[in-house]
């Protein structure tokens, strides 16, 4: 299996995300190596050794994606046995030309703990944790969005992702079997903030699979129960005109991006 390396003198998030995005276009499996904080020549030489070993083991030159500011370190990595893709060299010169100014690269600049949105995102994470699973209804006035859905439809991970990545204060509220003894209705706590509601749903078979991993052979996990609950919440969404998304075939990242696109919520990432 061919190897791909994601290397940086920072967190390597940029090279990793960009590299993964490019490789996802090709129907080939890769063994991935992410190597952050390569800041010295000695560290760069150690990385080159790993790249060479991968080349020797597989007989295929590894793909090397890197975003390194230090020229000496960058030159060492670029001399490896891999096929190198230097994102900074690729994009910085055209941007300098377009903006009419010279770039001033600094290590750790893109993901610094001192970035202005850091406190916003941490506050949003704390909010998501404090308002998970309908545990704290009194703070809904401060929420940017309130995710609703049946148990295990993706509310909690999506809330946390929206908070950590975008600084969005997301609460979430579960609809349970007890809510469905009669026709499912919006609780008063939700109706007061109806404009903030966004529903999640999921295919019954997928929900059955997820719940069975948690509580196998239970009424909670039965396909019949899953079908009933999902039917009730989807009817509620349509009746109350609550926007909703079927999360079955999407990752948490995709669900979050779609929610932002549908609702127009402002990102607080930069």
Question: pLDDT tens for residues 132-157?
Answer: 999 889 999 999 999 999 999 999 99
Q: What is the rounded CA–CA span in Å between residue 100 and residue 112?
A: 26
Whether residues 84 and 163 fall in one domain? no
Q: What is the rounded CA–CA span in Å between residue 179 and residue 183?
A: 8
Question: In terms of Cα–Cα distance, which of 34, 38, 29 is closest to 9?
Answer: 38
Asked if pLDDT for residue 225 goes beyond 60, the answer is yes
What's the mean pLDDT in 88-105?
86
The answer to the question of residue 95 being in a domain is yes
Number of structural domains (the chain) is 2
Whether residues 24 and 130 fall in one domain? no
* DSSP β-ladder status, 30-35 and 63-67: unpaired
The pTM of the full predicted model, rounded to 2 decimals, is 0.73
Residue 108 is predicted with a pLDDT of 57
Whether residues 81 and 152 fall in one domain? no
Residue 185's contacts (CB-CB under 8 Å, 6 or more residues apart) are: 179, 236
Burial of 71 (0-12, 13-18, 19+ CB in 10 A): exposed
Whether residues 55 and 155 fall in one domain? no
Whether residues 131 and 64 fall in one domain? no
Q: pLDDT band for position 11 (50/70/90)?
A: confident
Q: Which of 99, 128, 153 is the last residue of a domain?
A: 99
Residue 14 is predicted with a pLDDT of 86
The answer to the question of residue 220 being in a domain is yes
Place of tokens 């920072």: 10
Question: In terms of Cα–Cα distance, which of 226, 135, 216 is closest to 173?
Answer: 135
Burial of 210 (0-12, 13-18, 19+ CB in 10 A): middle
Whether residues 63 and 151 fall in one domain? no
The answer to the question of residue 149 being in a domain is yes
Q: Which of 99, 132, 150 is the last residue of a domain?
A: 99
Whether residues 76 and 147 fall in one domain? no
- Domain housing 61: 2-99
Phi/psi region, residue 161 (left: phi>0; alpha: psi -120 to 50; beta: rest), is alpha
Where residue 236 sits, what CATH number does that domain have? 3.40.50
């Amino acid at each position: 299996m061919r190897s791909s390396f994601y290397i940086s003198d920072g967190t390597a998030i940029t090279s990793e995300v960009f590299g993964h995005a490019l490789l996802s276009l090709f129907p080939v499996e890769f063994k991935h190596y992410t190597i952050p904080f390569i800041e010295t020549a000695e560290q760069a030489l150690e990385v080159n050794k790993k790249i060479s070993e991968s080349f020797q083991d597989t007989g295929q030159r590894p793909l090397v994606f890197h975003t390194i500011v230090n020229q000496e370190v960058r030159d060492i990595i670029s001399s490896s046995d891999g096929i190198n893709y230097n994102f900074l060299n690729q994009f910085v010169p055209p941007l300098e030309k377009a903006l009419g100014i010279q770039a001033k690269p600094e290590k750790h600049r893109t993901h610094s703990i001192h970035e202005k949105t850091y406190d916003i995102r941490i506050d949003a994470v704390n909010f998501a944790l404090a308002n998970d699973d309908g545990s704290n209804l009194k703070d809904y006035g401060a929420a940017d969005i309130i995710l609703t859905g049946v148990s295990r439809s993706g509310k909690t991970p999506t809330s946390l992702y929206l908070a950590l990545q975008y600084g969005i204060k997301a609460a979430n509220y579960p609809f349970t079997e007890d809510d469905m003894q009669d026709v499912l209705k919006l609780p008063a706590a939700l109706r007061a903030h109806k404009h903030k509601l966004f529903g999640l749903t999921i295919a019954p078979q997928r929900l059955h699979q997820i719940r069975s991993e948690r509580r196998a052979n239970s009424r909670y996990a039965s396909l019949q129960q899953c079908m009933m609950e999902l039917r009730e919440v989807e009817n509620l969404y349509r009746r109350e005109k609550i926007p909703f998304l079927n999360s079955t075939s999407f990752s948490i990242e995709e669900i979050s991006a779609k929610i932002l696109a549908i609702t127009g919520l402002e990102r607080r990432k930069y």
